[in-house]
Structure 1
Amino acid sequence: MTFPFRNAVLTGACGGLGQALARALIARGAAIALVGLNRPVLDELATLAPERCSVYTPDVADAIAMLACAKDWTQRHGVPDLLIANAGVAGGFDTAQADDLVVMRRMLEINLLGVATTFQPHLAAMRTSGRGALVGVASIAGWRGMPGNGAYCASKGGLIRYLESLRAELRGTGLSVHTVSPGYLRTTLTAGNRFAMPGLMEPDDAAHTLLAGVARGCTHIVLPRRIGWLSRALSLLPAAWHDHLLLKQPRKPRVGEAGATAIPGLPAQHDTSSS
């Protein structure tokens, strides 16, 4: 099957899935805007096809900065036909801890608002062109809340509903909207997890499956598919049983705890990111 996309914008291009997607898109001949915070990683990816790549390092939640990136990219390479909003952060959350409210706000900014700020600057031009795909990377965690993971589950659950709304709004325009729900991928976001991760998937395999699904027009893509079946099976249990099972599992580390992943843009006392 011929890959139908030639001009892509990819956020979160520094992470495990993001780098895998970037390499796959470059290998398929697409021009690609590499958006992320780790400039050296992005620059290294851009060397794979310097004539087709541009590097941008905005805060994805900053609408003005994202608009500036979109204008620059369009001037260089034209209107994109593939937007992949992949930027995301994860971390444990405890409502009883006042400091965690700041973490929740930042997680919602990146994981939810950041998808809208990725799509918005390109949407009018893409509607005029009458073709293109908008891809939001959500999570299986958005299907049901999990103890100690409320902020992340809320951000991804909200994203799933946002993408559903956008899909309905764009019907008949020639644009498609795709919701991606990964389970567990072998990336820095899962490296600190202290619980079982069934169906753990390699980023390169996930990237291939994601792009193939979008190319086929799949509106819902689960990575890997079997983790979706497991999640749906568990959802059939009474809520009390389901909660009891989850309460037995170790929780994802909160910011500042051993094994926690960095969340860029937090106030100084919270920020553990070097990017």
Structure 2
Amino acid sequence: MNLKTAPRFRNVVLTGACGGLGQALARELIAQGSHIALLGLHRTALNELAALAPEKCGVYVLDVSNSQAMQEVAADWLAHVGLPDLVIANAGVAGGFDTAQADDLAVLRRMLEINLLGPATTFQPFLQALRQQPDAACALVGVASIAGWRGMPGNGAYCASKGGLIRYLQSLRAELRTSRIRVYTVSPGYLRTNLTAGNRFAMPGLMEPHAAAKAMLQAISQGREHIVLPRRIGWLSRLLACLPDALHDKLLSKQPRKPRVGEAGATAIPGLSQPPVKR
């Protein structure tokens, strides 16, 4: 007799569901039979995902840095579906940065709002509800980046936001260690998404979003609190980190810089006025 297995995660909240990794995660979770709240900025993309399992998906359009909006989404999902057993703070933006350019200070501010404040805003209302149920178990997952392990020339805003996220997740993990709530840090290397499409430098270990989504969910289900995608790129980064800073900086400085907002190949940053593209 062929019995259908229960999904590894029954009730999931996912931000950044419109993007490459987010869409791949959503499709994988939907295929597993999870109830899933799809959060993002583009209703059409979210509706297309929800159409795969209308009875199990909820669509919410919001900015993840908007605490009031996130609390309203959480209240609605909790009332209709209940406590999640998996919350993935996946929403993120990327772009080059130059401290000498006044306009780029707004890029840094907005990147911190989305990449660093966003996960805390996402977790807050669900963590509050979970604490009212001491026996409730849940995985809180923050999608950081290997770029958060070390600063890179021309990428200070992104590296700072992801490095801050790694430390925030580390703090939250320690706070919740004695509870049934687990905190996971995901550090992808290069994924084939819109965020990397304009990169003008080599991307070793480039990974397809669907492969990253499968590996990520499997690692979470296995209880691995620190997840690197793919694993070998983590070892490469650790090896480079053994070099003296001056040598490391010299090697990195020879690489092309990530496109800044307004340059060809740059990805748009939601909530930020986008200047004309510079050719």
Bin of the TM-score, shorter chain as denominator length: over 0.9
Give the corresponding residue for 2:20: 16
- Shift of the alpha carbon at 1:130? 2.5
Give the corresponding residue for 2:39: 35
1:1-275 matches, cutoff 5 A? 3-127=7-131, 128=133, 129-266=135-272, 268=273, 270=275
Give the aligned residue type for 2:189: G
With over 3 angstroms needed to count, the CA separation of the structure-2 counterparts of 1:194 and 1:252, relative to structure 1, is: same
With over 3 angstroms needed to count, the CA separation of the structure-2 counterparts of 1:101 and 1:254, relative to structure 1, is: same
8 A contact 2:74–2:126 mirrored in 1: yes
Distance in 1 of aligned mates of 2:236 and 2:22: 25
- Shift of the alpha carbon at 1:75? 1.2
Moved over 6 A (4+): none
Give unmatched runs, 5+ long, in structure 1.
none
8 A contact 2:26–2:38 mirrored in 1: yes
Distance in 2 of aligned mates of 1:73 and 1:270: 37
Give the aligned residue type for 2:94: A
Distance in 2 of aligned mates of 1:36 and 1:271: 25
8 A contact 2:146–2:188 mirrored in 1: yes
Q: Secondary structure at the match of 1:83?
A: strand
- Shift of the alpha carbon at 1:270? 4.5
The percent of aligned pairs where both chains have the same amino acid is 72
8 A contact 1:265–1:271 mirrored in 2: no
Q: Secondary structure at the match of 1:97?
A: coil
Q: Secondary structure at the match of 2:30?
A: helix
Q: Secondary structure at the match of 1:84?
A: strand
Distance in 2 of aligned mates of 1:95 and 1:4: 44
Give the aligned residue type for 2:243: L
**Superposition RMSD in Å:** 1.3
Give unmatched runs, 5+ long, in structure 2.
none
The normalised TM-score by structure 1 is: 0.96
Give the aligned residue type for 2:196: T
Distance in 1 of aligned mates of 2:136 and 2:83: 11
